[in-house]
Structure 1
Amino acid sequence: MMDSQEKALKEGILEGTAVENAANNACAEPKEEAKAEVKPVEEANTVAEATEDAITKNEEADKSDKDLYKTKAEVLDRVKELAHGDGPLPKDEIDNLKTVFYKLHIAQKDAKYKEYIDAGGDPEHYQIIPDDDEEAFKAEMTIIKEKRAKIFAEQEAEKEGNYNKKFEIIEKIKSMVSSPEEANKSYNDFKQLQQEWKEIKAIPASKANELWRNYQLYVEQFYDLLKLNIEAREYDFKKNLEIKTHLCEAAEKLANDDDIISAFHQLQKLHQEYRETGPVSKDLREEVWNRFKAASTIINKRHQQHFEELRLKEEDNLVKKTALCEKIEAIAKEENKGASDWEKHTKEIIEIQTEWKTIGFAPQKMNIKIFDRFRATCDDFFGRKAEFFKTLKEKFSENASKKKELVEKAKALKDSVDWKNTSDELIKLQKEWKTIGMVPKKLGDQLWSEFLDACNHFFDARNSANAGLRNEEHENLEKKRNIIEELKGLAEQVGDNAQEAVQKLTEEYNSIGHVPFKEKDVIYKEYHDILDTLYNKLNIKVAKRKFNNFKNNLKNVAAKGIDALDNERGRLLRQYDSVKSEVQTYENNLGFLNSTSKKGNNLIEEMNRKVQKLKDEMELIKQKIKAIDAQNKEE
């Protein structure tokens, strides 16, 4: 999914750096006018275009969120308009359209892939469907490329023709210079040739310097030989001086322009006008040129410094990207023991990827290498993650089959009246259940509910069949209610001996036998609610209190029969398995969650609290089971 994105990134970096180098070469100071070493306008225009491209490329990365195009269809419509219209084909707009299109295209592909994965799809079987918009876009871009190539060829042919025209003008002026006696008579022809020279536009950059030097040489020779009357000559020099002084002032003002690139382009136009303006008197030529050259030097240095700062920024970006590579490589090396670890590390890597996108280009020679290093680590991590969850899915399926078998066995035993053997068999099934790993939450909850219902159905029926005398249970109920009332009285006013009184009443309460089955939950809740209130006031830990109460009651339970302790132990084992299964369910769910929002964070925190509470309850149950084992050993 990253090939197109990488390609767009590579193209942007390569073009941007190449153009920047061309722009830097344009920063050289022009030589003295007398030697005609100022860069010709054709070369300056080429450099200005290159510089403009460089700025466009470097700024595109920072304005992606400001694009006018929100869909691929909008981009495609604009590309078609350019491909089939008669208007200009600006390179910066075309490059931006390409970047925006593939940005939207990649986002669309990623969204489809994510939708497929979220729906439970297998990453290895995911297939990328060819995109008609992308094929249409490529076709239109081919048309644009061909049109631009044709325009470029026509422009080059035109430049070559312009060069021949200017060369002919130089030859004509050269012939005038060779006949000094005819200079005055040829003055009007000379001015006409100058005007024709100005009207001829761009020529090949490789020939510009040599052509300009020859032109300037013979123009100055003509002026030197020209035997105009003093008034006409001085008037011409004065007029040229006024123009060049104005150009010097305009160049000096550019030093205060905050837009360095715009100032550089304006300077090229001033240079063109300066070259096309005739000479001033010999005694002022050096002075005027030095003034214009000094103003140009300031702009050129600022322009050069601008690109040096860009290079320094690219170096800084390389340092930042190298640090991110090291950081993501360290995360990728960490061990992933379960789904929660994979999701935790996935979140960290996505955060680093987001930070990576905020960093601009690195230097050209390293930009592709550093990107390949970063992408290789990401691909390796997500490839291993996909393999892990594929294996996990297979394990879930295997665990689900095992639990379904246990459910069927429990359902087959739930109506049995062979209390002892069936109890042992169900307890055996419960032990086997807890050895089986996790399954998906929805199916796991369903299977556990069916298994638990079958077990509870049998044990409830067994408990009902083994119920004791009802009168004794009602008497026990009344006794327990009286103790609860006494505890309520203690809760209203806690005295110094309250703890001893509570301990005595709890021992008395625990010594009382069973109550009617229908009342046991109500009286149990009422008793423990008042105890919770008392223990909170007395700063007694609930866990210790429950365990002490349970331990104190063991002898009473053992006195009820040889199976009483075993029954209680079986009940605790079922309770332990139930709590453990609930813990596994929560932890499994946590492995599939990620905290992409504040609400998500709150949900994870709440689930973690529940898990810890359930684990504390499991520890208390284990202590109770150990106490029963100790009591059995004592018996």
Structure 2
Amino acid sequence: MEKEKSLPEKDAVELEITENQPAELINQVEGEMDEIKHSLPDEKQVEPDTQSESSTDHDLINEAFLPTETESVEATLKDENIDDPASDLDQMDVMVPITSVSSSEGHKIEKKSVEKIKTEKYVPVDDDDNLSDISYDDVDIDSYSREQIVEALAEIVNETDISLIKKKITSLKVAFLRENKIAREKKREEFIAAGGNIEEYVTDLDNIEEKFKALFDIYKQNKAKFNKSQEELKLQNLELKKQILEELKVLNNSEETLKKTYDEFKILQERWKEIGIVPQAEINNLWQSYHFLVEMFFDKVKINKELRDLDLRKNLELKVELCEKTEELLIEPSITKSFKELQNFHEQWKKIGPVPMDVKDDIWERFKQATDKINERRREFYGDLHEEQTKNLEAKLALCEQAEELLETESNTLKEWQEQTDKVNKLLEEWKSIGPAPKKVNDEVWKRFKSLLNGFFEIKKEFYSKLKEQQLNNYNKKLDLCLQAESLRDSDDWKKTTDDLINLQKEWKTLGPVPKKYSDKVWKRFRAACDDFFNKKAKYYSNIHIHEEANLNQKIELIQKIKNYSFGADKKQNLVVFKDFQREWMQIGHVPIKEKEKLQVEFRKAINAHLEHLKINQTEINTINYKSKIENLSDSPATRNMIYKERSFLSNKISKMKEDINLWENNVGFLANSKNANLLKAEFEKKIESAKNDLALMESKLKVLNSADIG
């Protein structure tokens, strides 16, 4: 449960003490502010006059060097627009209106009358500059020749502080233009006096003119750099003064103590005085703003005691209103809402400010008592709430334990997973129906429960992922069974194919489910192949009696043919003949069941009679029969699988039989000569002989399989 928050009485008292300013301090500051105000002079902006040089100086000089008519020097100077310090505006009047601005105390300061500010242009001179010993007023530049003017210009042109040389540069320029025009007129008159045609007269720049132009270009470059640096400095100063104006605005709106704001004001005033020049266009607006903010600060300080008493009474009214609103919270049904409102009222109380000293304690006690009652009501409410939340915590911990049990339960089938999922969802629904636990553990217990649910569904997801993979694997296996069944559907080897298809069906049953979207389709495909074969088989056996008598006669004729056959001396050829007889016998269809066994005995008897006569052993015959059987197999996946298994079986059987024969032969060597031992020895030898015959047959069969085209 959260800790009760209330405003301690001592805090309120301390707040009101800090907001009440002693009368002595107010009177002292007001007296000092009057002295400051009356001592403030009008703002005068000093700025070097570096912009009066015409931007077309170079063109004007070039023009002065060109051939001219008889215009006067005075006219030339006028047309050249030569800057003359005497022609600068010594002063300018700017009318700036001052709008009314509201002070931080909420009282509007009346609109000031429009003031006229006089600004002066001023060119500062550095007394320490190395050109300070030159007194321009003592030098008679008007008496200089062009050469002397160029020499004088060369002496000062590299000075980078333009304010030190500007006046003399102007005088030298005027003097040079005048003397140069006289020199040009003289050359022109001499040309005419010498009989030259005035229309053919061309005046080129002489050496002196070239030097003057070059020197003046240096001056212009230095002046441009100087002007640029001055403009940058003025912009920096402008920003600094604007910053002070912003700080004055903040200060005027400050709720700090009068002593503190007064000290800050004096610091700002000193900083303002230390900042240099600003751009000409900003001078008056900047000063008006500064002047206005200073006046505004004076007005703030001059709030009289009656206005202060009015504020105290107004604060009292507001605090009485807060007391009434706080007392109304005692009947608010919502504990949470009443407590939030109480916090809001306490914040408002802190912001209202002091009240008259004679009622300060009483009004605070009333507010405090209402606060204490609301806090007590809240404590009782949260006491009951804590008990309920503790029960909720116990219930949620029990759900966590149940979830842990479900997480530990292993599920291996879809049905089991569905049952477990239903249980988990039931736990989640039950969790939602339980209210919150205590706040300090509520998130923790939820994280525990949520982690268990996430763990369960992660395991379920993994199961379904593996199940999906397994179902796809089953699907591929069933597709393979479909292919095998389809390869047998047209077979007429009824017995063998029936066995093969039955084996395929048994294998089908061992496979698990496939993806639902493929289940019906793959099953219908497999069943169609099986049904196709068995329908043909049924149809065949329904008509089998028609062919049995003909097959009986064919087998009787084959037996007679075997009896009458005369074999040659070529054993290999004879084995081929026996193989052909065997194949022909197998190709003949069914005979009546009552004659089947009799015919089989007659067939084996006829074959064996020839074998004995030709001295062909049974192993060779069995191998021939085995080979015939393998060759009659159809090439199909089922056949290839069967041959693979047969190879594996024979290989293992041969290895085992060789071990048994070696063991038996070793045992025979240990038997002593006695009647019983001889009997036992004879039995072992008979057993070994039979095993060797079987071994030879199996090795022959393995050779047949290895050489077969199937598998």
Shorter-chain TM band: 0.3 to 0.5
TM-score, normalised to structure 1's length? 0.35
TM-score, normalised to structure 2's length? 0.32
Structure with greater Cα Rg: 2
